[in-house]
Amino acid sequence: QVQLTESGGGSVQPGGSLRVSCRLSTDADSRRCMAWFRQVPGKEREGVAAIYGGSDELFYADSVKGRFTVSQDRIDNTVYLQMNSLKPEDTGMYYCAARKPGWVCEFGGTWSAGQYDYWGQGTQVTVSS
C-alpha cells in the first residue's frame, strides 16, 4: 500500500513563504503524477500544482502561477511545494496526491481529485496578519 506523508505546513504573514513536503513510501516507479490540492471548509478540494515524474512536466493552477513551485527529489521519493508571496486566500489544508504509475497528469483532468489513487493526511497552511 502506497502511503504519502506531508509535512512543513504552518502559519505565515501575507507575502511570506512556506515549503511543504510529501514523502512517498515507495520508489517502485517514479513515472507517476504527483499533485498538491488544498481545501477549506465548505469548499471543494482545489488542485494547485502537479508534476509528472516521467518527464518532469509541471502544471499549475492560474491562482498560484508565478508564486508556487512544485519539484521532486527522486532519490528521497519526496515532492515539494515551495509557496512564495502567500496570500490569505492560500489558507487551507494542503494534501498531497498520487496516481498509479504510468498515468499522465492530464488523463481525466489534472485537477480532478477523483483521478488520484493515493492521498496524504494533509498539512495546514494559514496565511494571516
pLDDT score, position 54: 85
Instruction: Count how many Cα atoms sit within 13 Å of the Cα of residue 129 in the half-sphere of its side chain.
Output: 3
pLDDT score, position 30: 78
pLDDT score, position 108: 87
pLDDT score, position 107: 87
Q: Are 7 and 76 in contact (CB under 8 A)?
A: no
Task: Return the bridge partners of 7, or none.
Answer: 21
pLDDT score, position 31: 86
Q: Which residues are CB-contacts of 53 (< 8 A; sequence separation ≥ 6)?
A: 30, 31, 32, 33, 34, 72, 74
pLDDT tens column, 22-32: 999 977 777 89
Regions of the chain with pLDDT less than 50: none
Rounded to whole angstroms, how far apart are CA atoms 128 and 2?
Answer: 34
pLDDT score, position 4: 96
